[in-house]
Chains A and B, each alone.
Chain A
Amino acid sequence: MSSGPDLKEVNERMRGLMARTTHGRDDFEDLVIVPLFAVVVALIFGALIMLATAVDLPTIGRSFVALAVGSVGSLSAWSETLTASIPLVLAGLGLGLGFRAGLFNIGAEGQLLMGGLAAVVAGFTLAGLPWIIHLPLTLLIGALVGALYAAIAGFLKATTGAHEVISTIMLNLISYRLLDWLLRQPFIQREGRSDPISKDVPPSAELPRILDFIDVNLRLHAGIFVMLAAVAFVYWMLFRSKIGFAFRASGENPDAANYAGMNAAFIIVLAMGTAGALAGLAGATQVTGVLGRASPGFSAGIGFDAIAVALLGRSHPVGILFAGILFGALEAGGRQMQVSAGVSIDLIGIIQALIIIFIAAPLLVRAIFPWGFRKRTKRVGDA
């Protein structure tokens, strides 16, 4: 106060204010316990659904064993899990970043397709370059095209107010047909083929497999480093950088962002563009690391699963990393489940959907597991 505490006291108080207090259990509950329980509940429900569809108990048992073995039970299972998680995490990071900025972008699928196709084209047209230039350039072009494609929706929102949910859905639909058409163009279509399929990505633009010194069948590729770098980058961008601060402020309270002089139009376009770049990168790593070419619908719904990944990860880069690995595991394990227990892969889709429902309804999870949580008090409509 004005009467002025002396300097020593001021320093003392400042030190107290700057001490990092542990944030209590609420954060921990939200970030760890709720998702954990959600997964458990979803698996239980999955079992119940199998029961309801007249699958006998031993088969259910075998399918869950297969799920576990196929996802984490061996080195090759881990390799499959991580390979599947790479594009999920990358696209999920973009979506999460958008959510933080208040943008509900569901166009990752289209951005991924466009970015992936661009990477394929860059791959075979620039053939001849040394890989150290060729590979990064290919990925970069994929990201850039993804960014431009997403920026269309951002630009429409910023200038006309068109809602991004609608425009990104439309852009997804456009991307499917655009891809089909482009794949038939002589410039892109593989020689001697009449079906829509692209030329191959040459080896110098391929993401190298990193475990083939152990076993040539292990598909895990260097895209995992791209993924980890992207996690670090998005974390830095959101929580350390100036532009991330503006993203978050706009997402949480647009009026306050406006008051603070943040440029809403610029932020919308930039956040959309960054999200698109990450989705495009997801597509690029997929074509250069796994598929080797582009074909109709090569995205295989990754862009939609990534929405779930971003939500499950609470739009936090580290959360998205774990959520993406979980979804990768479900995918890898699901394939095994189908093979060795004969259970439909659709069941995995149902389990994924259930996880999302329970994540989205933390109160439900709290109600099912009351002992897992503390009673909480939130601040409401206060003076």
Chain B
Amino acid sequence: MDVELRGLTKRFGPVVANDNVNLHIRAGEVLGLLGENGAGKSTMMNMLSGLYTPDEGEILIDGKPVKFEGPGDGIAAGIGMVHQHFMLVPVMTVAENVVLGVEPTGKFGYLDIKKARRQVEEINEKYRLHVPPDELIEELPVGIQQRVEILKVLFRSADVLILDEPTAVLTPQEVREFFGIVDTLKKAGKAIVFITHKLHEVLEISDRISVLRQGRITGEGDPKTLTESDLAEMMVGRPVSFTTAKGDAKPGRTMLELHDVTMLDENDDKVLDRVSMTVRSGEVVGVAGVQGNGQTELVEAITGLERVASGKIDFDGTDITYARVRERHKMGMAHIPEDRHKSGMVDSFSVAENMVLNNYYAPEYSKGWAIDWPKVHETAAKYCVEFDVRTPSVFLPGGALSGGNQQKMVVARELERQTKLVIASQPTRGVDVGSIEYIHERLIASRDEGDGVLIVSSELDEIMGLSDRIYVMYDGRIVAEFDNTGGKADRNAVGLAMAGSFEGEAA
């Protein structure tokens, strides 16, 4: 199936999200779609899947113009979209989720779950998805959940699959498996649109690349001849540096110290097992590890979101083991949360309100019991300019920003404040190359101002590029520590420790 977009335009109030775009999607081909945050990628794909109606222009399927009026129309025409934030029902099984809304029914209209299961199995087999049909969604890792989403659109017999930043939440291993699936789909003659901010991924998997800038297609290219720097320049309009320039760390006093911190989950299993670590002022410490080895819990322990079972946490010489979140915040701890949507922002709050979400009570924003709103608006505008958060106004709801711009909003809020310790969890998730460069610079700037910086990331490149020291977590424990002054840590050794097969050089 071939799909053509002709002259599509979409406006949101004053914002022109898509401006007369033309795009061709062909069967048996992977089209990589790149573009800065807010360039209009998601908007374009939402029009293609029928979720948004274009203001101008038309969509042609195999040469015939079609008109989509609602979300169901896209998939009915064979175009399926997998959104970055999954839309699955956690308490239902895989098979139930897949057939939801298009349930195969028996004679009297009852749900024929056996038939549903069988159909799910068939697709599973055909595209080698390896999804367990009877498991509950909530028990599956993200990578598998994503495949359920893919299964869902295949079940509705989609010939065109739109994948909006599918790899942002995957571990490197899951990315490999995911690429395998994309390959199978392609061979089966499906057309695939793949959106990502990871340039090496587009180069690896796409057959063609289109670049979107400020709502327009500004470049097309052949992945065989292009390099990452070409792509970055096409997207941002200037050369982008992939390595962060930084001098050596000048570590000072101990900012954060964990002694034998242990945390239990609701089944009393250890999710953190006697973790001890230090972060000194003026250094960046990275925590590497395959997702799900206790990094999330480590951050929760440090920031006070979860209670620890035993052990002690000191922040700049003060025992904060049992201190509240607010107290830690007041003492100068910044926290970039790993999942901006879940906890980092309030969708319906304006950009301005989100910019002071955890700082609204501070004296500089207060007038007695009230909030000094003009001051907040001014600050928010300043942060938006500083971090290049693309929004027409600070009064727009945060949820209306593009994914990457939401992330920049959260990062701006945390890094602009006067702090002593920065806890950054997946700080650049969903952010474009240009902004990654800037966020990295700012993290290093925080270090050079004397903050302790702790970075938790599933991107090993990010950890290797920024950290002065690296801890590796495996199964709730710190299994190795590496000195990375001048980037001297051995990437392979770090990788091995992450796999848990090597108890690294204890420092």
Q: State the A residues within 8 Å of B (CB).
A: 1-2, 5, 10, 13-21, 23-24, 236, 240-243, 245-246, 248-249, 252-253, 255-256, 258-263, 375, 377, 379-383
A236 to B396, CA, bound (A): 21
CB–CB A381/B85 < 8 A: yes
Residues of A within 8 A of B346 (CB): 248-249, 252-253, 256
Chain A residues near B325 (CB-CB < 8 A): 258-261
Stretch binding the partner chain, chosen from B309-317, B376-384, B473-481, B494-502: B376-384
Q: Which residues of A contact B326 (CB under 8 A)?
A: 261-263
B381 touches A14 (CB 8 A): yes
Complex contacts, B437 vs chain A, CB 8 Å: 2
Give chain A residues whose Cβ lies under 8 Å from the Cβ of B329: 261
Q: Is the CB of B441 within 8 A of A255?
A: no
Question: Which of the residues A15, A252, A379 comes within 8 Å of B349, measured between beta carbons?
Answer: A252
A252→B347 contact, CB < 8 A: yes
Contact of B394 among A1, A10, A17 (CB under 8 A): A17
Whether B83 contacts A382 by the Cβ 8 Å rule is yes
Residues of chain A lying within 8 A (CB to CB) of residue B380: 17
In the complex the two chains form, is B399's CB within 8 Å of A1's CB?
Answer: no
Q: With A and B bound together, what is the CA distance between A263 and B83 in angstroms?
A: 33
- What 0/1 pattern do residues 395 to 430 of B give for CB contact below 8 A with A? 110011011100000000000000000000000001
User: With an 8 A cutoff between CB atoms, is B370 at the interface?
Assistant: yes
B199 at the interface (CB under 8 A from A): no
Instruction: Give CA–CA (A261, B303) in the complex, Å.
Output: 10
Q: Are A382 and B402 in contact (CB under 8 A)?
A: yes
Closest B residue to A15 by CB, please name it. B381
Residues in A whose Cβ lies below 8 Å from that of B42: 382-383
Contact A243 B349 (CB under 8 A): no
When the two chains form their complex, are residues A263 and B373 in contact, meaning their CB atoms are under 8 A apart? no
Residues of A within 8 A of B159 (CB): none
* Contacting residues, chain B, for A21 (C-beta < 8 A): 13-14, 392-393, 395-396
Given contacts A18-B378, A255-B342, contact A242 B371 (CB under 8 A): yes
Q: Which of B53, B84, B391, B434 contacts A381 (CB 8 A)?
A: B84
| Contact B438–A1 (Cβ < 8 Å) | yes
Selected contact of A263 from candidates B84, B324, B347, CB within 8 Å: B324
CB of B388 within 8 Å of the partner chain? yes
* Nearest Cβ on chain A to B244's Cβ, whole angstroms: 11
Q: Shortest CB–CB separation between residue A235 and chain B, in angstroms?
A: 12
Partner of A256 from B357, B391, B403 at Cβ < 8 Å: B357
Chain B residues closer than 8 Å to A17, beta-carbon distance: 380-381, 384-385, 391-394
Known: A241-B369, A379-B400, A383-B168. A258 touches B358 (CB 8 A): no
Contact A382 to B342, CB < 8 A, known contacts A1-B388, A240-B371, A259-B358:
no
| A-B contact sample (15 more), CB < 8 A, given A21-B396, A242-B366, A243-B369 | A10-B385, A14-B385, A17-B392, A24-B13, A242-B361, A255-B343, A256-B346, A256-B357, A260-B325, A260-B357, A261-B358, A377-B52, A380-B46, A382-B164, A383-B42
Determine the chain B residues whose CB is within 8 A of the CB of A375 once the complex forms.
Answer: 53
CA distance A253 to B399 in the complex (A): 12
B140, CB-defined interface residue at 8 Å: no
Residues in A neighbouring B14, C-beta threshold 8 A: 21
27 A-B residue pairs with Cβ-Cβ distance under 8 Å, sorted by A, are A10-B385, A14-B381, A17-B391, A20-B393, A20-B395, A21-B13, A21-B14, A24-B13, A240-B370, A240-B371, A241-B371, A245-B353, A246-B360, A248-B349, A252-B348, A253-B343, A256-B344, A258-B325, A259-B358, A260-B325, A379-B399, A380-B46, A381-B85, A382-B85, A383-B83, A383-B164, A383-B168
Chain B residues with CB below 8 A from A15, complex form: 381
Q: Which residues of A contact B324 (CB under 8 A)?
A: 261, 263
Interface positions of B from 269 to 325, Cβ below 8 Å from A: 305, 324-325
Closest 8 CB pairs of A and B: A261-B326, A381-B83, A383-B84, A260-B358, A261-B325, A383-B165, A383-B403, A17-B381
B160 → chain A closest CB, angstroms: 18
- Measured between beta carbons, the chain B residues less than 8 angstroms from A236 are 370
Complex CA gap A7/B328 in Å reads 34
CB interface residues, B 12-52, toward A, < 8 Å: 12-14, 41-42, 46, 51-52
Q: Report chain A residues within 8 Å CB of B344.
A: 256, 259
A101 and B473 alpha carbons, distance in the complex (Å):
39
* Chain A residues near B369 (CB-CB < 8 A): 241-243
Report chain A residues within 8 Å CB of B328: 261
Closest to B351 in A: A17
- Chain B residues contacting A18 (CB-CB under 8 Å) are 377-378, 381, 393-394
A13-B385, A242-B361, A243-B369 as given contacts; A253 in contact with B83, CB under 8 Å: no
Cβ of B116 under 8 Å from chain A:
no
A261 to B347, CA, bound (A): 18
**Contact partner, A1, options B12, B345, B434, Cβ 8 Å:** B434
Nearest chain B CB to A136 CB, angstrom units: 21
Give CA–CA (A184, B42) in the complex, Å.
Answer: 68
Q: Which residue of A lies closest to B195 (CB)?
A: A383
B215 contacts chain A at the CB level, 8 A cutoff: no
B335 adjacent to chain A (CB < 8 Å):
yes
Is B133 among interface residues, defined by CB-CB distance under 8 A? no
Residue in chain B with minimal CB distance to A254: B343
